[in-house]
Chain A
Amino acid sequence: MTSTKIESSSAAAPAPIGTGSRGTKVLGATALFFLVLAVAYGLFISPADSQLGNTVRIIYMHVPTVMAAYVAFLITALSSAMYLWKRTEFWDLLGSSGAEIGVLFFAVTIVDGALWGKVTWGVFWRWEPRLTTSAVLLIMYIGYLAVRAIPADPKTRATRCAIIGLVAVVNIPIVHKAVDWWRGLHQGKTVLGTIHPDMGGTQLFAMYSALIAGLLVCAWLFVHRFRAGFLAERASELGLDQALEERRLESSPAAPSSRGARDDLGGPQT
């Protein structure tokens, strides 16, 4: 408890400022490389699609973000289950990182999907199964973040979030099924968010570099977000040590035997 006094040990290498490390730098550089490839091929080099025309370039962004979002949510689900089993801070921090990153990517996915719809259908929103599912799931995980934001002691907050993480993830396939059937009654499946087989070589290259870039960015964000959450916990523990000191000091000025402030309502026992 009291071992958290700041003591700069000059012998060891200085600890990094912020949440970066050699590993994240390598990861970030690789992600950047694929991002450049994705921009070059996705926006400039690859031709327009035979079916989708230039809107395929939106798909190059849409697919990686939706994949990253699902990966993030699956990590949240796994971490939630692991937290309820192991009860360690690691799984809690990993789960909350996943929810936040997943919400980010899902929101982007939905905006991209709406822009694709504007070009393809002339309207931003049609009740396309994938977009609809995404919208429902997005709000579900916004609820997770809302609960996360409520101040509570770390264990309570972690349990609440783990429960929501589990309850939410089992809903994903059910929402998928329900929405697919529902829309299946009215229209055929659209190609939004799919890699269809007659994509050409440079198109596939653009798609895969965007996909790899998206997943690498997701991983890079995970590491940084996790470490930021870890630092936030340590910072609040420092506050706890101080609060404990203050709490103990409350008792010292008053003499223990002082009984001036008693408030006995009844008379003395006879």
Chain B
Amino acid sequence: MTKPRGMFDDALLMARKDLQLERRAKIGLGQVLPFAILVLLLFAFALDPDRGVLKQATPGLFWVTVLFSAVLTLQRSFGLESEDGILEALRLTGMSPAGIYLGKVTALTLELLLLEAVLAVGVAVLYDTHFIGIPLLLVIAFTATLGIAGAGAVYGALAARLRSRETLLPLLLLPLLAPVLIAATRGCEVSLQREAMSGWPWAALLGIFALVYLTLGSFLFRPLLEDA
């Protein structure tokens, strides 16, 4: 009756289910993405677009927008796991906690990457950004997103069961992601030839961040599901 299932089977199952949910409910596509584009517009209102401030600050604004959208995506992603007794049901299945974690991270990473792709088109059109140094940009986007999803899933799951989760998650998560914001922003600036330094150390730092939190999250998800 119980054929052996590995951690990666569980991860795949979870990720598939999350993407299925997104396809059905379209919260990311229908709500988070428009919000992110709205933020791009708000930045233009706040920072005079004619004086070049906007153009200079584009990488930073891009990643700040991604962070805020990530918080919303995480709220949604773990909100639906804590409704209707789903967390209890997941514990009853005997799925591996690390598998659940990696599945959530995979789905989150894919969703956020898609959001970033659309936002990139957004800044290209609205802020007149010319993309150069594409390989570095892609590596930075991927590692940064993996880090955001990896750290975010731990705190998303932790906050999901608390009544004050809407206010608590940003407070917990955003300071944790400060190095991601710094590294991704600087890395993108370098890539867009705004600074004369090589951007690969930033990509490496992002990679280390992602690796550290993916490892930690895989271990911490068991106590998180069991007792938190």
Contacts and interface: CB of A to CB of B under 8 A. Distances in A.
Decide if A and B touch, CB cutoff 8 A. yes
Contacts of A143: 168, 171-172, 175
Contacts of B205: 174, 177-178, 181
Interface in B137-164: 151, 154-155, 158, 162-164
A182 B212 contact: no
Nearest to A178: B179
Interface string A129-160: 00000001101101100110010000110011
A54 interface: no
* A-side interface size class: 20 to 34
A147 B223 contact: no
B46 to A, nearest CB: 21
Contacts of A163: 154, 158, 220, 223-224, 228
Nearest to A160: B228
Interface in A62-104: 84
B186 A164 contact: no
Interface in B169-187: 171-172, 175-176, 178-179, 182-183, 186
Contacts of B195: 185
Main DSSP-derived SS at the B contact region: helix
Nearest to A142: B171
Interface in A147-197: 147, 150, 155-156, 159-160, 162-164, 166-168, 170-171, 174-175, 177-179, 181-182, 185
Given A150-B164, A162-B223, A181-B201, A170 B182 contact: no
Interface string B192-228: 0001010001100100110011001000100110111
Contacts of B227: 155-156, 159
Contacts of B197: 185
A128 to B, nearest CB: 15
A174 B168 CA distance: 22
Q: Which of A142, A159, A162 has the most CB of B within 10 A?
A: A159
Q: Which of B171, B172, B201, B224 has the most CB of A within 10 A?
A: B172
Interface residues of B, number: 33
Nearest to A174: B179
Contact of A147 (B172, B186, B208): B172
Contacts of B163: 150
B32 to A, nearest CB: 23
A167 B178 contact: no
A175 B212 contact: no
Main DSSP-derived SS at the A contact region: helix
B183 A178 contact: yes
Contacts of A156: 227-228
A194 to B, nearest CB: 22
B223 A159 contact: yes
Contacts of B208: 174
Nearest to B222: A84
B178 A175 contact: yes
Contacts of B228: 156, 159-160, 163
A172 B171 CA distance: 17
A163 B158 CA distance: 9
Given A139-B171, A147-B172, A171 B223 contact: no
B171 A146 contact: yes
Contacts of A167: 151, 154-155, 176, 213, 216, 220
A76 to B, nearest CB: 15
Nearest to B186: A182
Contacts of A175: 178-179
B223 A84 contact: yes
Contact of A139 (B155, B175, B183): B175
Q: Which of B151, B158, B175, B195 has the most CB of A within 10 A?
A: B175
The 7 closest A-B pairs by CB, nearest first: A178-B179, A159-B227, A143-B172, A140-B175, A139-B175, A178-B182, A159-B228
10 contacts: A136-B175, A139-B175, A150-B164, A167-B155, A174-B179, A174-B208, A174-B212, A175-B178, A178-B179, A185-B186
Interface of A: 84, 136-137, 139-140, 142-143, 146-147, 150, 155-156, 159-160, 162-164, 166-168, 170-171, 174-175, 177-179, 181-182, 185
Interface of B: 151, 154-155, 158, 162-164, 168, 171-172, 175-176, 178-179, 182-183, 186, 195, 197, 201-202, 205, 208-209, 212-213, 216, 220, 223-224, 226-228
Given A164-B155, A178-B205, A179-B182, 14 more contacts: A136-B175, A137-B175, A140-B175, A146-B172, A156-B228, A159-B224, A164-B158, A167-B220, A174-B212, A175-B178, A181-B182, A181-B186, A181-B202, A182-B186
